[in-house]
Amino acid sequence: MAKKREHWSSNWAFILAAAGSAVGLGNIWRFSYIVGQNGGGAFLIPYLLAVVVVGLPMMLLEIAIGRHYGGGIISSIRKIKKPKWLVYVALIPVVVAFVIIWNIFGLALKVLRGKHI
């Protein structure tokens, strides 16, 4: 008997996941290049260290929680019973996403109002 294949919940889920991956990879490559070109190469060491020490484990945690509980990160966090600390750790990427969106929204408002950045 063949195994049941896993699939995305919708086409939009796949598109958003692919776009998020592309933006993340673009951030690592482009940011590093621009910083190096403008004389900030020393900043690349803590940046890449943060990506490896914090970003990669958080991404793997989010993927593992979603696969274990069979849903998106928000619905999966609701299903976590034990260990309780995992709920708080799993909320970190969600909070970071909202902070990024809030900053982008604020920047867009400044540009639309004609204020210099």
Rounded Cα distance between 85 and 100, Å, is 24
Per domain, the residue ranges of the chain are 11-112
By mean pLDDT, which of 1-15, 27-41, 44-58 is the weakest?
1-15
d(CA 34, CA 40): 9
Mean pLDDT on 17-45: 75
What is the C-alpha separation between 66 and 5, in angstroms, rounded? 16
- pLDDT bin (cut points 50, 70, 90) of residue 30 is confident
pLDDT at 31 > cutoff 60: yes
- Which pLDDT score, from 0 to 100, does residue 3 have? 65
pTM over cut 0.85: no
Q: Phi and psi dihedrals of 72, rounded to 5?
A: -75, 175
- Alpha-carbon distances, residue 79 vs 45, 69, 70, 86 (angstroms): 37, 7, 10, 11
